[in-house]
């Protein structure tokens, strides 16, 4: 789907309050079917109720955090997305969950009654092509790099009526948080439940990484593999050594908000400092240095021409560079550094 833009956000956000009441700003309410729902201890507790919205878009996402007090019957529908042509459901299956579409996939066993420790988090997405994905605890890949989510193609649905739906008609489910959006089918790295994280890590940090990966410039396209252009979650020696140079590490050094732009904190200008570390290696340090300069130059050209172009809401304000001159006879690794300063105006109300 791609990282959510500044006009794409969670259109329905509820944290245990009555989901049929639209509050706060830019929050769409659900329509309830059944009377078995009530607020208790910060959760919306359901024994027999479904909450539904009827969007008109074809790319949908729902994110839910919940736990069981009484385990629902097998095949009880918990989450459902329908885009008018395809439908996918998450159904209860004891301590597992089934993702049901044209076929059925099943998660690993999960503790669904851990109220005090960590209630389960599920994210269900359905795109316009009918592909549904279920993410558990917002994890996309495991430590070996394998997919941690399950996926099916949704069942064909000729009704033409879309919906975002959640709830249960058996057992007792404590729904702590439910977020939904009709703005897209977003993975955990494309839209976070926290608007702050989306604005900073996703729309800035990971967006810069994705921009460089998508570049058609010669060195970025042919000499640096996409898997070697990474966000610097972990730049320890052991982790960095897993990648074969040339590599590019993107880091957010800091972010600040000097002042809010309107009364009531409606908008804010966020100032970002983004760093790139371009690593090359060679027995001839001159060639490693030159290759690093070529890659750094293309990184600069790509970001200068494709990011921070709107002076009123998103601006690239400046940059600095430092270059790694060889000082030790045994040195073979060259690391050039680019440092960009961005200013971005952010809507603070959709959170």
Domain assignment of residue 170, given as a range: 12-181
pLDDT band at residue 115 under the 50/70/90 scheme: low
Domain match, 175 and 199 both: no
**Tens of pLDDT along 151-175?**
999 999 767 789 999 999 999 999 9
Domain match, 40 and 174 both: yes
pLDDT band at residue 264 under the 50/70/90 scheme: low
Integer-rounded Cα radius of gyration of the chain: 23
Cα distance between residue 337 and residue 314, in whole Å: 23
φ, ψ dihedrals at 292, nearest 5°: -60, -40
Domain assignment present for residue 45? The answer is: yes
Residue 141 DSSP one-character state:
B
Domain assignment present for residue 321? The answer is: yes
**Tens of pLDDT along 8-33?**
999 999 999 999 998 777 789 999 99
Domain count, the chain: 2
* Buried/exposed 68-83: b ≥16 CB within 10 Å, e otherwise: beebbeeebbbbbbbb
Predicted TM-score of the model (pTM): 0.87
Question: The domain spanning residue 71 has which CATH number?
Answer: 2.60.120.200
Domain assignment present for residue 30? The answer is: yes
Q: What's the half-sphere exposure (Cβ side, CA atoms, 13 Å) at 140? A: 8
CA-based nearest residue to 336, from 304, 291, 282, 287? 291
């Amino acid at each position: 789907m791609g990282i959510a833009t500044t006009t794409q956000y969670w259109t329905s956000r509820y944290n245990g309050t009555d989901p049929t009441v639209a509050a706060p700003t830019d929050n769409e309410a659900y329509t309830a079917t059944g009377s078995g729902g009530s607020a208790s201890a910060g959760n919306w507790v359901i024994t027999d109720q479904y909450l539904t919205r009827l969007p008109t878009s074809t790319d949908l996402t729902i994110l839910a955090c919940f736990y069981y007090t009484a385990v629902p019957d097998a095949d009880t529908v918990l989450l459902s997305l329908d885009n008018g042509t395809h439908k996918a459901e998450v159904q209860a299956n004891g301590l597992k969950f089934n993702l049901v579409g044209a076929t059925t996939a099943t998660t690993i066993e999960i503790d669904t009654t851990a109220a005090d420790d960590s209630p389960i988090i599920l994210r269900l997405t359905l795109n316009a092509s009918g592909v549904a994905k279920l993410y558990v605890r917002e994890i996309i890949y495991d430590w070996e790099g394998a997919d941690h989510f399950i996926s099916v193609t949704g069942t064909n649905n000729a009704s033409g009526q879309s919906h975002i739906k959640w709830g249960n008609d058996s057992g007792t489910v404590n729904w702590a948080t439910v977020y939904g959006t009709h703005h897209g089918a977003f993975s955990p790295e494309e839209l976070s439940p926290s608007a702050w994280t989306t604005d900073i890590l996703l729309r800035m940090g990971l967006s810069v990484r994705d921009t460089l990966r998508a570049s058609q410039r010669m060195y970025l396209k042919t000499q640096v593999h996409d898997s070697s252009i990474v966000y610097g979650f972990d730049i320890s020696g052991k982790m960095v050594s897993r990648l074969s140079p040339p590599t590019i590490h993107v880091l957010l050094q800091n972010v600040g908000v000097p002042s809010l732009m309107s009364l009531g904190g409606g908008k804010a200008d966020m100032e970002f400092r983004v760093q790139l570390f371009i690593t090359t290696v060679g027995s001839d340090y001159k060639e490693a240095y030159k290759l690093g300069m070529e890659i750094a130059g293309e990184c600069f050209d790509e970001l200068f021409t494709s990011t921070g172009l709107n002076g009123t809401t998103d601006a690239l304000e400046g940059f600095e560079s430092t270059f790694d001159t060889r000082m030790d006879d045994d040195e073979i690794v060259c690391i050039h550094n680019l440092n960009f300063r961005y200013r971005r105006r952010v809507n603070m109300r959709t959170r």
